[in-house]
Structure 1
């Protein structure tokens, strides 16, 4: 049984823009304040074990898997009772994230998917996407270096990463979703963390 005042915080944005690090910082701050928090994650690594297209090769099927698995993870996280009822769930890759990656993949391939497939993915993301109490969206800074070329994954493509960033913010604008933009500026990240803490400490009983 979950807390009636469960807070859901999600993050989305292009890869290597600090999403996971941001969520880990929020998690540590909340735990330090005595808030029972659960964080989801590792969707990318788990997806690598599934024989479905990845990154710029995403399809409606692979995107559906990402969204559905992420939703299931969030539900399971909220149901944990090891340390008492969970008060805050941190979703590392909110469901809107997968929709942006899918749209970016279609543009990267210059492909128009069947309308039924596009609408199916959209509806699945929408069904859960409005449940976040706070949504954080990272902004790609092309001047910030990513991992060295020798350590990059074989499917890394800088143009696709740029497309993901653009579609991330287009999805948010089209759906009129309230969110907090986070740049590479440490002050921007600190403000986002403070925003998450204020929401959690105000709404979640400690």
Structure 2
């Protein structure tokens, strides 16, 4: 690839909607075509290991940490020589999780704090060449090892898509349908391989 900065593809959406699997598919296809992708991820788990609340207990502090850590991970991936950065949980994702947690708990966030976190996430949006937003399919069962609250999971899905639409953030909706998944992989490949030939 001839670009001076890597292509960035981010994924966001509620938990257990295939975000990581989708990025793994894209990563595998890119490697098969000679690209050097680096996939970020595991931010939620690292937040919990740090002692920060997550899921329904998500707070402004945990949101800020997740956004900042995601930014750092993407920078590190580029520094490692990636020509494609695959961001598992693009920056706006953390804001959607917080908004869902606040609604779940029946709490309000001060307008200045809400705007500050949204601005922090929004500064990263122009860096993404493609954003993939997974869509919740309630008919797809969640693995038994995951003890997710279905109401919170639904709220995250609603807030994710409301945020993307409300902020007019360009994205591709990806459903659980096999054709939708394949289309997302093909869009990512086309983007990366066309940039490689420039």
Q: TM-score, normalised by structure 2?
A: 0.96
Alignment length (residue pairs): 197
Partner of 2:90: 94
Q: Output the CA distance in 1 between the equivalents of 2:95 and 2:43.
A: 14
Q: Output the CA distance in 2 between the equivalents of 1:20 and 1:99.
A: 19
The aligned runs of 1:1-206 (5 Å cut-off) are 3-81=3-81, 86-148=82-144, 151-153=145-147, 156-205=148-197
Q: Output the CA distance in 1 between the equivalents of 2:57 and 2:115.
A: 18
Q: Structure 1 unaligned runs (5+)?
A: none
What SS is found at the alignment partner of 2:100?
helix
- Runs (4 or more) in structure 1 with deviation over 6 Å come to none
Contact residue 3 and residue 195 of structure 2 kept, 8 A: no
Shift, 1:205, TM fit = 4.6
Shift, 1:120, TM fit = 1.5
1:154-193, CA deviations, whole angstroms, 9 ceiling, x for partnerless residues? xx21100000000000010011111111001011100100
Q: Structure 2 unaligned runs (5+)?
A: none
What SS is found at the alignment partner of 2:136?
coil
Shift, 1:52, TM fit = 1.5
Q: Output the CA distance in 2 between the equivalents of 1:75 and 1:5.
A: 10
Q: Output the CA distance in 2 between the equivalents of 1:130 and 1:146.
A: 33
Q: Output the CA distance in 1 between the equivalents of 2:164 and 2:106.
A: 22
Root-mean-square deviation (CA, aligned residues, Å) is: 1.4
What SS is found at the alignment partner of 2:49?
coil
Contact residue 47 and residue 53 of structure 2 kept, 8 A: no
